[in-house]
Structure 1
Amino acid sequence: MKIGIETESFHLFFQYKKMNILDFIKKAAEIGFEGVELNMIPGWGIDDDLGQMGPDTKENLDAIRDEIKKYGLYAEIDTNGTDEISLKKAIRVAHHIGANVIRTYIRFDKFDSEVYKQTTEDLKNIVSELKKYRIKIALENHEYEISDELISIVEEVNSHWVGLHYDFGNAMMAWEEPVEAAKKMAKYTYTTHFKDHIIVKDDESDYGYVVCGVPAGTGNINLDECFKIMVENSPLERINMEMCFPYCTNFKREPGAGGVNKVGEGTFKIEEAPYDRSIIKPLQYYYPHKAVDDKTLEKMMQDQLDGAQKGYLYLKSLRDKYCR
C-alpha cells in the first residue's frame, strides 16, 4: 500500500502564493510520500484554470509530469462535477501527467436528491472515454452524500471504470459515522482522502456546531479501524491524505440523515476549537486573510506544514501495522 498527499493539505500555501505545484511535488517527496493527488479546481487565491495545478498549458503539464517522474511518485487528479465538459477536461489532464484515477464529486449549492439521476447518466456517458484512456473515476462522499446514496449510483452505472472515493471525514457532515461509511463503501473504493475531524461549538453555524479538521491522529475519528477496513475490504493500492487543517465547515444535511442524530459522543464528541476564538472564529479558518494579521497567518501556515508531516508519520504507522 503506497501513501500519498493531496494538494489541499497545503491550501494556505497555495492561496497566499507561498507554494506552486512543483514546490508541492518536491515537498511531498521530501516528507516521504510516495504519490501526489493534484487538485485542479480554481478557488480564492487559486485562480489559474487548473487550480492548484496552475495554467492549463502543455508546458506546465509537461513540467508537472516530469517532476512526478523525477521523484518516482504516482499521481491522481482531483476535480468536481460530473458533466461531460468537466470530466473530459480532467481525463485529458490526467492522461497528460500519467494519472490513472480521478476524484470527482457532485456540485451542490443545497442538497437535492434529484441531482443523483443526472449524476448517474453523466457517469454512464463517460465510461467509453474512461475505457479509452484506462482511467477510473472515483465519486466522493463530499459532505452532502451518505454512503448508501453513492453506492446506488455506482451500482446503477455498473462499470469497472466508475467507483467511489472514500473520504475518512466527510461522512460526518452528513451525520454518518465514518466507520460505518467505510464498511459500506470499501469494496467500491478506488481512492481516498485520509483525514481527521472533531466537532466544535459555533453559534454562527447552522446547527450550533461545526465539523473541524485537525491533523491526522489528533481527532476523534477511529482512523485505525477505517484504515483496517479499507485494507481488508477494498481494491485500494494507495491511501491519499488530505489534511484539512485549519478548516471548519457546517453540517450539510439534517441530523439523522446518515444515522447519527446528535453531537456529544464518540466521533461526534465536542472539543475545544484549535485557535483562540478572540483571534479567529472556526468558520474563518479556511480563508483567514479576512480575520487575522500576518503573524497569525504565518503561525497557521506553520501549523499546516507541521500537521502534514505528523500526518505522514501517523499514516505510515497504520500502513506498517496493517500492510506487509
Structure 2
Amino acid sequence: MKLGLETESYHLLFQHKRMDIFDFIEQTWKLGLDGVEINIIPDHNLHPQFGVLDSDDPTYLARVKNAIQSRNLYCELDTRWTNQASLMKSIEIANGIGADVIRTYIKVDDFDPLNLQPIIEDIKQIIPVLKKHRIKLSLENHEHETSDNIIEIIEAVDSVWFGAHCDIGNSMMTWEDPIEAVHKLAPYTISTHFKDHIVTMHNDEPVVCGVPIGEGSIDIDECFAQLVEHSSITRINIEICYPYCASFSREKGTGGVFKLTGAFEVKEPPFDPELIKPMDYYYPHKISQLALETLIDAQIEGVKHSVAVMKKLRNKYCK
C-alpha cells in the first residue's frame, strides 16, 4: 500500500507563501511518502483558477510533472464540481502533471439528495474522455453527501472509469459514523482522504474539527483495515484537515447517528479559545498574527505526526 500526501495538509503554508508546489513535492519525498495529491481549488492567496499551481501553461505543468516523476512519486489531482467544463479543464491539467486519478465533489447548489439524476448525466458525459486519457474520476463524500448518495451515483453511471473517493472523516458532517461510511464505500473506492476528527464546541454549536491522525475520535485502525480488506486500492492519501472545522451539513440522524456519543463525543478544542475559536481555524490570519503562527507550527508538526502514524498502520495491515 502506497501512502501519499494531499496539499491541503499544508494549506496554511500555501496560503501564506511559505510553500509552493515544488517545495511540497520535495517535502513529501523527504517524509518518505510515495505520492502527491494536488489540489487545484482556489482559496486565499492561491491562484484564482488553479489553486496551489501557478498556471496551466504546458511548460510549467511539465516542470511539475518532472519534479514528481524524478522522485518516483505517484500523482493524483483534486478538483471540484461535476459539470463538463470544469472536468475537462481538470483532465487537461491531470494530463500535464501525470495524474491518473482525479477527485471531484458536487457543487452544493447542485446537490439534491432526492434527485441525483443531473449529476449522473453530467458524469456520464465525461466518461469517454476519461477513457481516452486513461484517467479515473472519483466522487468524494464531501460534507453533504452520505455514502448511500455516492453509491447511488456510482451504480447509475456504471463505469470502470468512475468510482468513490472515500474520505473517512467527511461522513461525520452528515451524521454518518466513519466506520459505517468506509465499510459501505470501500468496494467502490478508487481514491481516498485519510484523516482524523473530533466533535468540539464553537460557542454553543457542535462542530466537526480536524486533528492530527491518531489524536481524534475516528477508529483509524478499523478504517485502514476496511480499506485494505474490502477495496482494491493500492494508495491511501493523507489529508490532515488541521487546523480546520466544519458545521454539520444535514439534519441530525441523516446518516444514522442521532447522539453525540462514540466518534461524535464532544471533546475540548485543540487550541485555546482565547487565542482562536474553532470555526476560525481555517483562516487564522483574520484573528491575529499570533494565531496564524501558532496554527502554522501546529500544522507542520501535525503532518509529521500523521505520517508516522500512517506508516505504523501500513506496517500493521500491509506486511
Taking structure 1 as the reference length, the TM-score comes to 0.96
Structure 1 distance, partners of 2:110, 2:74, is: 35
The CA deviation string for residues 82-115 of structure 1, in whole angstroms up to 9 with x for no partner, is 1011111111111111111000000104863256
2:233 pairs with one of 227, 231, 236: 236
Instruction: Give the aligned partner of residue 318 of structure 2.
Output: 323
Deviation at 1:49, TM superposition (A): 2.3
Matches within 5 A, 1:96-245: 96-109=96-109, 112-114=112-114, 116-203=116-203, 208-245=205-242
The one-letter code matched in structure 1 to 2:284 is P
Residue 246 in structure 1 maps to residue 243 in structure 2: yes
The one-letter code matched in structure 1 to 2:108 is F
Structure 1 distance, partners of 2:46, 2:188, is: 32
Instruction: Give the aligned partner of residue 46 of structure 1.
Output: 46
The CA deviation string for residues 220-252 of structure 1, in whole angstroms up to 9 with x for no partner, is 000100110000010100000000000011000
Deviation at 1:48, TM superposition (A): 4.1
Instruction: Give the aligned partner of residue 17 of structure 1.
Output: 17
168-177 or 49-58: which moved more?
49-58
Structure 1 distance, partners of 2:114, 2:131, is: 28
The one-letter code matched in structure 2 to 1:167 is D
2:116 alignment partner, SS class? helix
**Alignment length (residue pairs):** 319
2:152 alignment partner, SS class? helix
Q: Is the 8 A contact 1:100 1:136 kept in 2?
A: yes
Structure 1 distance, partners of 2:123, 2:156, is: 10
Q: Is the 8 A contact 1:111 1:252 kept in 2?
A: no
Instruction: Give the aligned partner of residue 289 of structure 1.
Output: 285
Instruction: Give the aligned partner of residue 267 of structure 1.
Output: 263
The one-letter code matched in structure 2 to 1:135 is I
Deviation at 1:270, TM superposition (A): 0.8
The one-letter code matched in structure 2 to 1:68 is I
1:309 pairs with one of 304, 313, 317: 304
1:221 alignment partner, SS class? coil
Q: Is the 8 A contact 1:49 1:56 kept in 2?
A: no
Instruction: Give the aligned partner of residue 6 of structure 2.
Output: 6
Structure 2 distance, partners of 1:130, 1:79, is: 15
2:5 alignment partner, SS class? strand
The one-letter code matched in structure 2 to 1:248 is C
2:77 alignment partner, SS class? strand
The one-letter code matched in structure 2 to 1:271 is K
The one-letter code matched in structure 1 to 2:259 is K
2:108 alignment partner, SS class? coil
Residue 75 in structure 1 maps to residue 106 in structure 2: no
Deviation at 1:183, TM superposition (A): 0.7
> What root-mean-square deviation, in Å, do the aligned CA atoms of Structure 1 and Structure 2 show?
1.2
Ranges in structure 1 where 5+ consecutive residues have no aligned partner:
none
Deviation at 1:262, TM superposition (A): 2.1
Q: Is the 8 A contact 2:285 2:291 kept in 1?
A: no
Q: Any runs of at least 4 consecutive aligned residues in structure 1 with deviations exceeding 4 A, and if so which?
A: none
2:165 alignment partner, SS class? strand
Percent of paired sites with the same residue: 48
93-102 or 131-140: which moved more?
93-102
Q: Is the 8 A contact 1:171 1:181 kept in 2?
A: yes
Taking structure 2 as the reference length, the TM-score comes to 0.98
- Aligned CA distance change for structure 1 residues 271 and 180 (closer, same or farther; 3 Å): same
Q: Is the 8 A contact 2:47 2:53 kept in 1?
A: no
The one-letter code matched in structure 2 to 1:287 is Y
272-281 or 211-220: which moved more?
272-281
Ranges in structure 2 where 5+ consecutive residues have no aligned partner:
none
